[in-house]
Structure 1
Amino acid sequence: MLVDTHTHLDAEQFDEDREETISRAVEQGVTRMINIGFNRETIPTTMKLAESYDFIYAAVGWHPQDAITMKEEDLDWIAELCRHEKVVAIGEIGLDYYWDTSPKDVQHAVFRKQIGLARELGMPIVIHNRDAHEDTVRILREEKAQEVGGVMHSFSGSWETAKLCLNMGFHLSFGGPITFKNAKQPKEVLKQTPLDRLLIETDSPYLTPHPHRGKRNESAYVHLVAEAAAELKGLSFQEIAEITTRNSLERFSIR
């Protein structure tokens, strides 16, 4: 049993073979997938997937790259969707200083609003953090995100940053980069991450693990992430599969 805690199966890269892609994941033992709806276009397609497959769940939120497009009615829309039985988190939300698509002050405001909504609804949050470690942690702390906790998606920070996130009750999720030969930092952080806070993901169709790097990623490849995590932790594949599956179901309150 494996859980892909972060995927984008509704992406256009899967338009020609989406059903086959999902079937391949199931054949690889992926029993649950959490699809991420992160803007006005992908939230409806994420919800459609979650409603079409028993084993696909949804997280809905507003991505920092799209922060400049968010309106108050969008926040109300997310709040309404959070009442849906298949919606398990608000996300992905956070900060992205790599892509210059939304001003930092706008990203901060949208991030804070969504943390506030999560606290109001008692929902965990899925955090996108790219090149914004200090501000991400600061805002999480100032907005009392520890009251709901959540997941640091595709964690790429230092162990010092990881400890700050762990102290706020967050899980750390790792994907394809832990299979990359030169990705020393995520490997070292994973080694130190407590087993009860460890999650795995693909972020498909992006961040494809070795040996498929450079090609389209898909949820079936989460088994490659699990294999790498098992090796780094000195555990068997089965042990990592059981641990990360249990953590996923508990974190997202999935039966």
Structure 2
Amino acid sequence: MSQLRFVDIGANLLDDRFTKGVYHEKPRHEPDFDQVVERAAKVGVRHIIMTAGTIEESANAVQQVRKLRQAQQSTGIHFSCTVGVHPTRCLQEFVQGEDDDDGKDDEARLQRLLEIAKDGMTDQSVVAIGEIGLDYDRLQFTPKDVQIKYFIRQLQVLAADTGLPLFLHNRSVGSDLYDLLKEHQDCWTRGGVVHSFDDSHDLAMKFVNDLGLYIGLNGCSLREGTNLQVAKELPLDKVLLETDCPYCEVKRTHAGFHHVKTTFPTKQEKKFEKGVMVKGRCEPCQIIQVAEVLAGVKEIPLQEVADQCFENSLKLYGWDA
């Protein structure tokens, strides 16, 4: 067992690529979820937080976490999840969603999310509100005004009532997310993390110093030289690690790839082989590569990065170990 300890604070393990072996609606191989978990455990992953982006995903995540916890003794990994609606899903979930027989509207859907969150909190299956936030790169899915409206409503309804930390999406929005969080700071009391951060150092430090938030780093946070400089200057006690799998792997074309020491054999999904990772599909085990890049740019030992980021995660989520 690895001496390193990691918390993957953001993993899309409900994705069909893990649960069904399906890629772009085409079945390629048998589900290999168990193997994915085994590989994560071998590199030292102790906690995985599965992220949700719709009402259905939120409910499913809670159910899956409870099932996975029954197998925790064999894997050594503790599972939990988030509850919330992703900014790019707000139009479909709150505006275009079909009414049920009882005439559900957007506020009723928010109440449904709150019910899911509170149910999950009874056994700590749910540990954060998310993935919520803003994304101006993909306004074709949800317009800016709709994103803003339902980001605020999720703060007011979900965060305010549960008191859970926030798992935040921030993509090409300037200071809008920061401004809204500051304006509605009375709604959230447990802090949170701006995940997959790839913006400026100044904005990162505003989130950290003004709002007390953590910064989440994954492969997409470390693509360019400018990203590496931001990561280098971030205070380590304010950094959390994640994979955002199956997305955001550290690619060979990324500026910091030369810092990666741990690699894994891979094969294309069409040539799937049991026990071998699928090429291009990021997994929780690859969190060690994120840590290696961060250690490299900061010029500090990998163990120091792993230990500090692990402790940061325990502090945010209120865990003992």
1:22 is matched with: 37
1:98 is matched with: 137
Amino acid paired to 1:139 = L
Give the Å deviation of 1:81: 2.6
Of the three residues 83, 88, 93, the one matched with 1:60 is 83
Give the Å deviation of 1:196: 1.4
Partner deviation per Cα, 1:219-242 (whole Å, 9 max, x = no partner): 110010011111122221111111
Cα contact 1:36–1:60 (8 A) shared by 2: yes
Stretch moving more, 49-58 or 211-220: 211-220
1:219 is matched with: 284
1:188 is matched with: 229
Amino acid paired to 2:197 = F
Instruction: Note if 1:173 corresponds to 2:173.
Output: no
Amino acid paired to 2:136 = Y
Amino acid paired to 2:113 = I
Amino acid paired to 2:244 = D
Q: Could you say if the C-alpha distance between residues 94 and 178 of structure 1 is closer, same or farther in structure 2, counting changes exceeding 3 Å?
A: closer
Q: Could you say if the C-alpha distance between residues 41 and 82 of structure 1 is closer, same or farther in structure 2, counting changes exceeding 3 Å?
A: closer
Please give the alpha-carbon distance, in whole angstroms, between the structure 2 residues aligned to 1:212 and 1:30: 25
Please give the alpha-carbon distance, in whole angstroms, between the structure 2 residues aligned to 1:186 and 1:203: 17
Aligned to 1:62, the other structure's residue is in SS state coil
Please give the alpha-carbon distance, in whole angstroms, between the structure 2 residues aligned to 1:212 and 1:57: 32
Aligned to 1:132, the other structure's residue is in SS state coil
Aligned to 2:175, the other structure's residue is in SS state helix
RMSD (Å), alpha carbons: 1.8
1:32 is matched with: 47
* Structure 1, unaligned runs of 5 or more: none
Cα contact 1:122–1:148 (8 A) shared by 2: yes
Amino acid paired to 2:42 = E
Q: Identity percentage over the alignment?
A: 32
Aligned to 2:132, the other structure's residue is in SS state strand
Number of residue pairs the alignment of both structures matches: 253
Cα contact 2:55–2:84 (8 A) shared by 1: no
Instruction: Note if 1:80 corresponds to 2:95.
Output: no
Please give the alpha-carbon distance, in whole angstroms, between the structure 1 residues aligned to 2:67 and 2:43: 20
Instruction: Note if 1:228 corresponds to 2:293.
Output: yes
Of the three residues 118, 121, 128, the one matched with 2:169 is 128
Stretch moving more, 206-215 or 150-159: 206-215
Aligned to 1:133, the other structure's residue is in SS state coil
Instruction: Note if 1:137 corresponds to 2:178.
Output: yes
Calculate the TM-score normalised by the size of structure 1.
0.93
Q: Could you say if the C-alpha distance between residues 7 and 32 of structure 1 is closer, same or farther in structure 2, counting changes exceeding 3 Å?
A: same
Amino acid paired to 2:150 = V
Of the three residues 1, 7, 13, the one matched with 2:11 is 7
Give the Å deviation of 1:120: 3.1
Give the Å deviation of 1:33: 0.5
Give the Å deviation of 1:212: 9.6
2:60 is matched with: 45
Please give the alpha-carbon distance, in whole angstroms, between the structure 2 residues aligned to 1:241 and 1:47: 27
Q: Could you say if the C-alpha distance between residues 211 and 45 of structure 1 is closer, same or farther in structure 2, counting changes exceeding 3 Å?
A: farther
2:190 is matched with: 148
Amino acid paired to 2:153 = K
